[in-house]
Amino acid sequence: MLNDVLIFKKIKDGDIETFEQVFRQYYLPLYMYSFGIIGRKDAAEEIVQELFYVLWRDREALNIVRSMKSYLYGAVRNQSLQYFEHQYVKERHRENILSRKLEASETTAQEQIEYKELQNIINRTLEQLPERRLRIFRMHRMEGRKYKEIAQLLSVSIKTVEAEMTKAYQILRQEIEKYTHAS
């Protein structure tokens, strides 16, 4: 244990030779340990390399009270398990996206045709509205204006705006019902 304390101190003080000695001694066993957990060579290699990189980068903050071996193996085990969790989350996310794409692609051509027909009916109905009613409808529904603002802009009462919107909705509802009952 005293030997490990000295090794940690030397690494903490920036002794590159001691760090390289630890790297050479533990790299292959740690790689094999990680590979045994996750079964992927590239990922195991990356995990061990990242461990040594972080160990050197953050060496001044090292405060290790365990043995070098248990510290390194514990870190590799934790990173390997995190890798598994990350892969699981990625796979679930990928499956979720594929499922959504599949559901979206199941929209039938018939549904698309019906949607276009309905849009045409709405547009034709709006074009037939009296000019003031159409203007009020567009200001409210397309521009997002409040009834009070529309009334001020057009110099009419709020009740007039409400009445015109009610009539516009009634006409639209009637035309849409005709379409849906005919289908």
Query: What percent of the chain has a predicted confidence (pLDDT) above 70?
Result: 92
Q: Burial-class residue 45 by CB neighbours within 10 Å (0-12, 13-18, 19+).
A: middle
Cβ density class 149-174: b for 16+ within 10 Å, e for less: ebbeeeeeeeebbeebbeebeebbee
pLDDT value at residue 1: 45
Q: Is the dihedral of CA 110, 114, 116, 120 positive or negative?
A: positive
Structure confidence by residue, pLDDT tens digits, 38-62 = 888 999 999 999 999 999 999 888 7
Please check the confidence at residue 150 and state whether its pLDDT lies above 80: yes
Rounded to whole angstroms, the Cα distance separating 180 from 183 reads 5
Rounded to whole angstroms, the Cα distance separating 183 from 161 reads 33
pLDDT value at residue 157: 95
Comparing 125 with 180, the larger pLDDT belongs to 125
pLDDT value at residue 103: 67
Structure confidence by residue, pLDDT tens digits, 72-120 = 999 999 999 888 788 878 788 788 887 777 666 666 667 778 888 888 8
> Minimal CA–CA distance to 56: which of 15, 2, 3?
15
Domains in the chain with CATH codes: 2-104 (1.10.1740.10), 109-182 (1.10.10.10)
Please check the confidence at residue 67 and state whether its pLDDT lies above 60: yes
Instruction: State the pLDDT confidence band at 176, using cuts at 50, 70 and 90.
Output: confident
Q: What is the mean pLDDT of residues 160-179?
A: 89
Structure confidence by residue, pLDDT tens digits, 7-48 = 888 999 999 999 999 999 999 999 999 999 888 899 999 999
Please check the confidence at residue 179 and state whether its pLDDT lies above 90: no
Q: Which two tokens stand for residue 128?
A: 């037939």
Q: Which two tokens stand for residue 92?
A: 């679930």
pLDDT value at residue 105: 62
Please check the confidence at residue 131 and state whether its pLDDT lies above 90: yes
